[in-house]
Structure 1
Amino acid sequence: MMISINVKGQNYSFDFYNGTFNFSIDSSIVFNTSQKATATETEKFYSYVSAGHYAELIASLKKYREKYDLNDWIYYQLIRKTAEQISPKADNYFRYTLYKWFLLSKCGYDARLAVGNDQVIFYVKNEENISDIPFFMIDGEKYMCLNYHDYGKLFKQADAYKPVNITIPEARNAFSYKVTRMPDFKPENYAEKDVEFSYRQKIYHFKLKVNEDVQAIFKNYPGVDFESYFNIPLSRETYSSLIPILKNNLKGMDQKKGVDYLMRFTRYAFLYENDEQNFGTEKRLSPEQTLLNKYSDCDDRAALFFFLVKEIYDLPMVALLYPTHLTMAVQFDKPVGEFITYKGKKYSFCEPTPQAQDLKIGQLANKLKNIKYEIVYAYEPTKR
């Protein structure tokens, strides 16, 4: 990180994926707080900082977001890193969180704070179906907690925290967890990963470009709805190291054989391990994380298979959630083998996760037959 000093305050510069974020901090928005989180300290902080010269910093953040077309979740990582430069998390967690809240709010998001148990809870308005993080309801609106993971087991139930009532006129927008575009990472930050699998007595080799920065992006990413999850894309370098190679390998294959190839690539090119063994808890991996990680489970492979089929063939698909398994079914011109009917259309089973049997398209694992499932996502290609 480069830091220089000017008369009014400090200039900061730090790398943010493929770009560099430059910003200035006017001394009028530098405010020291105690380390103990209280409503009174929060009100003092806001009263002081909101009266200072913060407009240039907010303009810099908004300009960077627009230049690099950042989704809200990625933009929040930029705000988080900016707050870290102003007030390091390790030095004063309360103050660091106050700056995150102030910046996110002044950038237009309806963010709130609550205090209690000597903790500060930071949350933001959200209108999506998020399944695995705490939330608060205020006037019928849902606010998702952005920092509960920092407290771990010390985090209490929602009623342990009392909201701090500060009205910020520009803080009106809901925050979205959808990631529809990955950042452009620096090419030199990618490593090469050798992947291979066998299809019809032929070994196929891949040299994937993968980047550990992807792990940081999704470290505290919540359990979003399946539509949002399935549509997380690959970064440009990883995409370029995989999709053109797959398309070349699929030349000469008809559509069904090509989907079979992608199903078996997803099933056998990566080692299987369930999340409890791998992470100690349930954790969905994005398609790029599945390519990067040594192990993955059924959710991860279903998302990767969906991405590959959508990108190469753009076929209608449904995701089927069983009590302990997630699998896929694809709509072809004519159904293959066993299929399900959903809204009048026939979808053939395509199992992207290793099973006891070597399943073909149109085959379902014996253990899943006669088990109830739920269609959690149905994809219909946009008509061209």
Structure 2
Amino acid sequence: MKHLIRCTLIASGVVASAATLSVVANPGMSDYERWRATTQQEFQSYLDENDKAFIGFLKQRWEPVDTESGEEEDQAPKPTNIPKAPPIYSPVDAPEEKPKDIATEPTPVVSVPVPTPTREPDNTTPEQTPVKVAPQPQIKGPAASINFYGHALRLPYNKAMPRAFSSRPSSDAIASAWEALARSDFKPALEQLSATKTSLSLSDWATARLVSDYSEAVARNADSRIMLSWFMLVKLGYDARLAYNDRLYLLMPADDDVYGVTYFTLSGERYYALPLNGDVRIAGKVYTYGKQHETASRAVAFKVPERFNGAGDIRKRTLSYQEGEETVNVVVSYPAEQIRYLDSMPQLNLPRYPILDLPAATRAELTRQLKPLLQGHSEEVAVNRLLNFVQNAFEYQTDEQQFNTENYLFPLETLHYAASDCEDRAALFSLLVHDLLGLPVVLLDYPGHVAAAVEFTGQVKGDAVVYNGRQYTVTDPTYINARAGMTMPQFAGQSPDVVEVF
């Protein structure tokens, strides 16, 4: 019997050890256990051709590259005192002549009170909801339990992963660590990571975060975590690149500029030290390899809007403002874990922010409450009502005041945080105009300020910009009480960059 098994394995190109044969022939094991034990031991001696070539390349001399500090998108100071126009008249009580008359009056500058900085809105309340569990197969052997933004996951690992790297960084040590992982039974973990990516609709960024969280749960030291993350991301097809000086670093290219993040340039491509597990700062030179694994070519796509949503606790916030003589209360609810997820993302280009949709339940809730305020009114009046909501339902603070650093907010974050500044309001306002009115919107990017502009189907008086042969009327959701056609006084006469979003 053993002789027959050995002949079969040799014929298939695999030489089995005596230990393997005894495992296969053990009558006390089930067919599955026998197959799994054989497969695991066979895999120990197996490397595919891409891994063999890559390991050989890793053993060669790594080249030094200079790192560069992360750039800032707009370093011009933002206004801290926001001008305030006379209050918007109710469109029902005061028709079209009111905005025309008021626009000709002088615009006084009023200092806006700045509340105490906080990362949590004062009027949110949590609601307990069950943690969502992604469908998962039964796992035999060790597994890591991960709470991935409210989704409870269990992912398998093997004995080579906890100490994926425990040497002083060098090309030989890195090549040996890669080989050890490649010879281990890593495929169950890889398959489950890939299945989770599909089931939770993970973007590239969310996938990289999941791999990082998995490595954090499995690995026993920082370099092992980096090594394991690099290995898994490459096996998932990403152009993840390892670099080292006195420690290991993981860098990845992106399909768009990323700000405030250290990077180096290799063969014309920027590789960013993305904050997968907090900020990463690299000073001076690092060593890296030139040729990438044959299966790894994917950059992190930030231009594709997110589809992933966190689960777990639901927060509620009430936003209050005046519409004429009436106090309007708008209640929004959203997954608290989604805020934590969005906060993990690096700062991106301005156009990335308005296009990130709200969670479906939050979007439906806003539509249900805001749509009746717009129905039956002209486009201009409806836009002015959305301006009034964004201008007056939120406190104003610059990012430096609230977060001590530049921090563009996605629309959901603007609904969450206690305060917001110009680009945050412009992103939320643009999304609301697009969703509720279906009108084209662009952003107006001034030095130190961002506003919006709407393309109306009819003529609207006031300031406008022409972009690609189309006229967009200025709409500034930061200039308190300003109507369509009114530019914030300190930016009047300036020519902003036009950023196309909707």
Taking structure 1 as the reference length, the TM-score comes to 0.87
2:154 is the alignment partner of 1:22: yes
Residues 156-215 of structure 1 show CA distances to partners (whole Å, capped at 9, x for unaligned) of 14xx111146742221212212452343333x5112111111112211112211333233
Out of 341, 344, 350, the residue aligned to residue 466 of structure 2 is 341
1:58 positional shift: 1.0
Task: Provide the rounded CA distance (Å) in 2 between the counterparts of 1:218 and 1:143.
Answer: 21
Q: Indicate how the Cα distance of structure 1 residues 192 and 292 shifts in structure 2: closer, same or farther if over 3 A, else same.
A: same
The one-letter amino acid paired with 1:303 is: A
User: Contact 2:162–2:224 (CA<8 Å) still a contact in 1?
Assistant: no
Task: Provide the rounded CA distance (Å) in 1 between the counterparts of 2:203 and 2:363.
Answer: 19
2:500 is the alignment partner of 1:378: yes
SS of equivalent to 2:353: helix
Out of 323, 326, 349, the residue aligned to residue 447 of structure 2 is 323
Residues 126-160 of structure 1 show CA distances to partners (whole Å, capped at 9, x for unaligned) of 232333322222222222222498566x6314xx1
Taking structure 2 as the reference length, the TM-score comes to 0.68
2:482 is the alignment partner of 1:359: yes
2:351 is the alignment partner of 1:224: no
Q: Indicate how the Cα distance of structure 1 residues 7 and 328 shifts in structure 2: closer, same or farther if over 3 A, else same.
A: closer
Structure 1: which 5+ residue stretches go unaligned?
A: none
2:497 is the alignment partner of 1:369: no
Task: Provide the rounded CA distance (Å) in 1 between the counterparts of 2:278 and 2:210.
Answer: 18
The one-letter amino acid paired with 2:488 is: A
User: Contact 2:395–2:419 (CA<8 Å) still a contact in 1?
Assistant: yes
Task: Provide the rounded CA distance (Å) in 1 between the counterparts of 2:187 and 2:328.
Answer: 54
Out of 269, 273, 277, the residue aligned to residue 141 of structure 1 is 269
The one-letter amino acid paired with 2:248 is: V
2:376 is the alignment partner of 1:244: no
Q: Which has the larger radius of gyration?
A: 2
The one-letter amino acid paired with 1:67 is: S
SS of equivalent to 1:198: strand
The one-letter amino acid paired with 2:476 is: E
Q: Give the alignment's Cα RMSD to 1 decimal.
A: 2.5
Out of 256, 259, 262, the residue aligned to residue 128 of structure 1 is 256
1 or 2, which has the higher strand percentage? 1
1:275 positional shift: 0.8
Task: Provide the rounded CA distance (Å) in 2 between the counterparts of 1:345 and 1:167.
Answer: 45
User: Contact 2:254–2:271 (CA<8 Å) still a contact in 1?
Assistant: yes
1:18 positional shift: 5.5
Out of 201, 215, 234, the residue aligned to residue 83 of structure 1 is 215
Out of 417, 420, 438, the residue aligned to residue 296 of structure 1 is 420
1:260-275 aligned within 5 A: 260-275=384-399
Out of 140, 148, 156, the residue aligned to residue 283 of structure 2 is 156
1:106 alignment partner in structure 2: 235
2:295 alignment partner in structure 1: 170
SS of equivalent to 2:157: strand
1:316 positional shift: 1.2
1:37 positional shift: 4.2
2:382 is the alignment partner of 1:258: yes
Residues 355-383 of structure 1 show CA distances to partners (whole Å, capped at 9, x for unaligned) of 4xx311111122111223211x2245xxx
Q: Indicate how the Cα distance of structure 1 residues 130 and 147 shifts in structure 2: closer, same or farther if over 3 A, else same.
A: closer
The one-letter amino acid paired with 1:120 is: L
Task: Provide the rounded CA distance (Å) in 1 between the counterparts of 2:377 and 2:173.
Answer: 66
2:13 alignment partner in structure 1: none
The one-letter amino acid paired with 1:168 is: H
User: Contact 1:35–1:93 (CA<8 Å) still a contact in 2?
Assistant: no
- Deviates further, 315-324 or 137-146: 137-146
SS of equivalent to 1:170: coil
Task: Provide the rounded CA distance (Å) in 2 between the counterparts of 1:32 and 1:349.
Answer: 56
2:330 is the alignment partner of 1:198: no
The one-letter amino acid paired with 1:84 is: E
**What number of residue pairs does the alignment pair up?**
366
1:250 positional shift: 2.1
2:222 alignment partner in structure 1: 93
1:63 alignment partner in structure 2: 195
Which structure is richer in relative contact order (CA contacts within 8 A, separation 6 or more)? 2
